[in-house]
Structure 1
Amino acid sequence: MIFAFLFALIAIYLVLSVQYNSFTDPVLILVSVPLSVFGALIPLALGVTTLNIYTEIGLITLIGLLSKHGILMVEFANEILHRDNVDRRTAIETAAAIRFRPIIMTTAAMVVGLAPLVIATGAGANSRFGLGTVIVVGMIVGTSMTLFVLPSVYTVVKPRRGKTI
């Protein structure tokens, strides 16, 4: 499982590095993913569900969904940074305020959409329960990390204008 998680993170990092021509932007985008995966592992640690192929698929899905949240904020902050010629903190605060609604709507849609998996009964309910629980808890924790941790890391890690990495 750890190898699949690391492989997914490395693959996403490499694709984003090529797309943004930067080594720091993908780090900023992926900063909330490990924290949310640890949050998604809370049900496993508490014994609510077990680690199986369905929960692993849920973790991989979670990585993709939370990468999207990071992309929304970092891309918009970079655009504001260069277009409006403001400092990093102002750019990420503006991006976080403007992109708050789309991020919350995506999280709410996923949580509500996966609610039937969590409350399912019948044949195969255990596998669906594990998948749904991991993604729901991971989305809630990951969205919190994206909204609160990512702006802090952006102001520290993002290079000043004129510097390229």
Structure 2
Amino acid sequence: MSTPITADIMPRGWEPDEIQLWADAFEDLAQLQSRTGQFFPIPDDFTKADVRQVKEILPLLDGQKVVLRGDTVSVGLVSAEALDQLADTRSGMFRLTVGYEGMLFTLGQHQMDLGPCTETYTMDKILNMKEARRDIAALGHATAVLRLARNFPAVRYLGSERPE
């Protein structure tokens, strides 16, 4: 797809940017299949969300970090001590590092394991402290909703080495 897209070849109702998005998406998908050595049919319901996911995986395969979207993270807690540790930060910010044995990528009916994956999150506030304390006391477990610090984006990378 190195030829500029012209109005003459555009399907009715499509915008040039939309055609370029799909042309780039299929090129990225071909690159993913070639680099992993795993070839599979394009899913019938290949969506823009799938396009974004494929686009995020390519830099991971290059050893780069990918910035994650979102403003909050939910963390399951099984003790009051764990909640107290989160709440007792001197600077007001704290970092969590999460390691996965394997990052499973699913596209349509095809799945591939990209290997170990690490995510780091820096939070600056527990948004539901009262509810979390109540649930810990009543149920013995809770889910804390943590706000991500704006100046330190959450990132994902392949591998199991912890950040400094």
**Higher strand proportion (structure 1 or 2):** 2
TM bucket (normalised to shorter chain) is: under 0.3
Normalising by the residue count of structure 2, what TM-score does the alignment of the two structures yield?
Answer: 0.25
Which of these two proteins has the greater Rg computed from alpha carbons?
A: 2
